[in-house]
Amino acid sequence: MKRSIVGLAVTAATLLAGACAFAQFPGMQQPKHYPWSDASLSPDSRADLVVKEMTLDEKISLVHGQGMPFFSNAPSESNGGAGYTNAIPRLGIPAIQMADSAYGVTRGEAAGRYSTALPSDLGAASAWDPDSAFQYGALIGRELRAEGYSMTLGGGVNMPREPRNGRTFEYQGEDPLLAGVLDGNVEKGVQSVHIIGDLKHYAINDQESGRNSVNANISKRAMRETDLRAFEIALGISNAGGVMCSYNRVNGDFACENSYLLTDVLKKDFHFQGFVLSDWGGTHSSTKASHAGLDMEQPDKIFFGDPLKKAVESGDVSQDELNDHVHRILRTIFATGLFDHPVVKQVPDVEGGYRVAQQIAEKSIVLLKNQHNLLPLSSSVHSVVVIGGHADVGVITGGGSAQVDAPGGSAVPAPAPKNMMEAIIHIQWLPSSPLRALQAQMPSAKISYVSGDDPQAAASSAKSADVAIVFAYQWESEGMDLPTLDLSAAQNQLIETVAAANPKTIVVLETGSPATMPWIDKVAGVVEAWYPGIRGAEALAGILTGAVNPTAKLAITFPKSDADLPHPKLVLPPPESEINFSDPGADISNIMSRMAKGLPAFQTYYDEGLKVGYKWYDAEKKPVLFPFGFGLSYTTYAYSGLSVTPGDSTAVTFTVKNTGKRAGTEIAQVYASLPDAAGEPPKRLIGWARVELAPGESKQVSVPVSQDRLTVYDEASDSWKLVPGSYAIRVGGSSQDLPLHQSVSF
Active site residues: 279
Distances (CA, A) of 636 to 196, 264, 341, 515: 42, 48, 48, 26
Measure the CA–CA gap between 40 and 336, rounded to whole angstroms: 14
Measure the CA–CA gap between 532 and 361, rounded to whole angstroms: 6
Measure the CA–CA gap between 696 and 399, rounded to whole angstroms: 44
Measure the CA–CA gap between 177 and 233, rounded to whole angstroms: 7
Q: Are 700 and 640 in contact (CB under 8 A)?
A: no
Is residue 637 helix, strand or coil? strand
Measure the CA–CA gap between 412 and 393, rounded to whole angstroms: 7
Is residue 663 exposed (0-12), middle (13-18) or buried (19+ Cβ within 10 Å)?
Answer: middle
Measure the CA–CA gap between 501 and 322, rounded to whole angstroms: 69
Is residue 704 helix, strand or coil? strand
- Ranges of beta strands (E only) in 69-213 are 83-85, 96-99, 151-152, 198-202
- Ranges of beta strands (E only) in 269-420 are 275-278, 366-370, 383-387, 395-396
The kind and range of the H/E element at 47 are helix 43-53
Residues 6 or more apart whose Cβ sits within 8 Å of residue 123:
169, 361, 364, 365, 529, 530, 531, 532, 533
- How many other CB atoms sit within 10 Å of the CB of residue 603? 11
3-state DSSP helix/strand/coil percent for the chain, to nearest 5? 35, 20, 45
Torsion of CA 517, 523, 528, 530, to 10 degrees: -60
Q: Which residues pair with 742 in a beta bridge?
A: 729
Residues 6 or more apart whose Cβ sits within 8 Å of residue 219:
609, 715
Distances (CA, A) of 448 to 416, 431, 508, 700: 30, 18, 16, 46
Q: Which amino acid is at 350?
A: V
Residues 6 or more apart whose Cβ sits within 8 Å of residue 495:
470, 472, 505, 507, 519, 522, 523
CA of residue 619 relative to chain centroid, distance: 27
Q: Are 368 and 527 in contact (CB under 8 A)?
A: yes
Nearest to 545 by CA among 739, 384, 418: 384
Distances (CA, A) of 475 to 452, 487, 515, 628: 17, 10, 11, 22
